[in-house]
Structure 1
Amino acid sequence: MAGIDGTREFVPVRIAVLTVSDTRGLAEDRSGQTLADRIEAAGHILADRKILKDERAEIADQLRAWCADPEIDVVISTGGTGLTGRDVTVEAHRDVYEKEIEAFATLFTLVSFGKIGTSAVQSRATGGVAQGTYLFALPGSTGACKDAWDEILVHQLDYRHPPCNFVEIFPRLDEHRRRK
């Protein structure tokens, strides 16, 4: 994997974290805290952090609100990506996406397979773009959050990471909305 291009200056990204859980409060939210800690350690800005219950409409409404907020560049959710009846985070994300980043799910599955073997098939991690904002839905385990951040997002959210990264195309994410 390519390293950091030292000729480029680091660009901090403003990231909101959403934990989806019917049972956790802020004190018990280890996955959300894991993401918050890694975001700040990487030099990015924790723009907001919330916990919501597994309710599709409420999750989608929060995602839309953050996408409309010019102070938020990226949203990372944790939890609600499994196969049970209450797991609706993926559906809520897809209600909001303008474009899905299919390769994010594929790459996350590859990373997970290396750690947890065939149990990786139960993950429905997903990524997409809406209103010029990146959105990523991760499983609720701290291990999955660490894997997604350490193996994928820390690199793709770093402008210095060659040959390409999510940050360098920020200005073009909503080009279709601008008048020509």
Structure 2
Amino acid sequence: MSKTPTPFQALNVAVLTVSDTRTEETDTSGQTLVDRALESGHNITAKHIVKDDIYQLRAIVSQWIADNDIDVIVSTGGTGFTDRDNTPEALTVLFDKQVEGFGETFRHVSLGEIGTSTIQSRAFAGMANHTVIFCVPGSTNACKTAWDKIIKEQIDASHRPCNFVPHLNLAEKCQSRG
């Protein structure tokens, strides 16, 4: 007996750019994520640029996590090693669960694109209040890599054997690989 494929379901996505210097006009990374989400059939429910400040980051993401109309948060920037890169320190404390495989997979995929410089990426992800949160580096190419090679499939209900949609209280449970 074959299982009926799960149809694609549009999710509500919020995009956060973490930067002290970018504006709406110069935010190519955030705009890339917005464009890719829309091209994939999802909705953009919020977009914001915030300075590299732990407490401002936490305030915005906490508000989005509490918003039942936001299913997915994707942030870009603040994941490196400069003194101003504080996204991991700001946001991991908000997670109910870490998604360790995201950072590992991002660095694995990036190895083929930028070589060993990928070890300087602190890309990470987690779940909080049934919202999945992906945090990627601030470069436009890193955003393209993260979306095209990982995030797009993981927020698509039709992707098998598993995706994050069932954990967002929206769809059927993940089907086993068996």
TM over 0.5: yes
Aligned partner of 1:109 in structure 2 is 107
- Structure 1: runs of 5 or more not aligned: 173-180
Whole-angstrom CA distance in 2 between matches of 1:60 and 1:167: 24
Whole-angstrom CA distance in 2 between matches of 1:137 and 1:7: 29
CA RMSD of superposed structures (Å): 1.4
Q: Report the alpha carbon displacement of residue 168 of structure 1 after superposing the two structures with TM.
A: 2.3
Aligned partner of 1:127 in structure 2 is 125
Determine if contact 2:64/2:70 at 8 Å carries over to the other structure.
yes
Q: Report the alpha carbon displacement of residue 7 of structure 1 after superposing the two structures with TM.
A: 3.2
Determine if contact 1:93/1:137 at 8 Å carries over to the other structure.
no
Whole-angstrom CA distance in 2 between matches of 1:143 and 1:102: 22
* Shift >6 Å, 4+ stretches: none
Q: Report the alpha carbon displacement of residue 158 of structure 1 after superposing the two structures with TM.
A: 0.4
Q: After superposition, what is the alpha-carbon deviation per residue over 1:86-131, rounded to whole angstroms, capped at 9, x for unaligned?
A: 0001111112111110010000000110100100000000000111
- Structure 2: runs of 5 or more not aligned: 171-178
User: SS in structure 1 opposite 2:25?
Assistant: helix
Aligned partner of 2:145 in structure 1 is 147
Determine if contact 1:6/1:160 at 8 Å carries over to the other structure.
no
Q: Report the alpha carbon displacement of residue 8 of structure 1 after superposing the two structures with TM.
A: 2.4
- Among 72, 82, 86, which residue is 2:80 paired with? 82
- Among 93, 96, 120, which residue is 1:95 paired with? 93
Q: Report the alpha carbon displacement of residue 46 of structure 1 after superposing the two structures with TM.
A: 0.6
Aligned partner of 2:175 in structure 1 is none
Determine if contact 2:130/2:167 at 8 Å carries over to the other structure.
no
1:157 aligns with 2:155: yes
Residue 26 to residue 10, structure 1, CA distance change in 2 (3 Å): same
Percent identity, please: 47
Q: After superposition, what is the alpha-carbon deviation per residue over 1:128-164, rounded to whole angstroms, capped at 9, x for unaligned?
A: 0111111111000000000000000110110000001
Aligned partner of 1:176 in structure 2 is none
Whole-angstrom CA distance in 2 between matches of 1:144 and 1:12: 23
User: SS in structure 1 opposite 2:169?
Assistant: helix
User: SS in structure 1 opposite 2:133?
Assistant: strand
Whole-angstrom CA distance in 2 between matches of 1:99 and 1:7: 28
The higher relative CO (CA closer than 8 Å, separation ≥ 6) is in 1
67-76 or 7-16, larger mean C-alpha shift: 7-16
Q: Report the alpha carbon displacement of residue 10 of structure 1 after superposing the two structures with TM.
A: 1.1
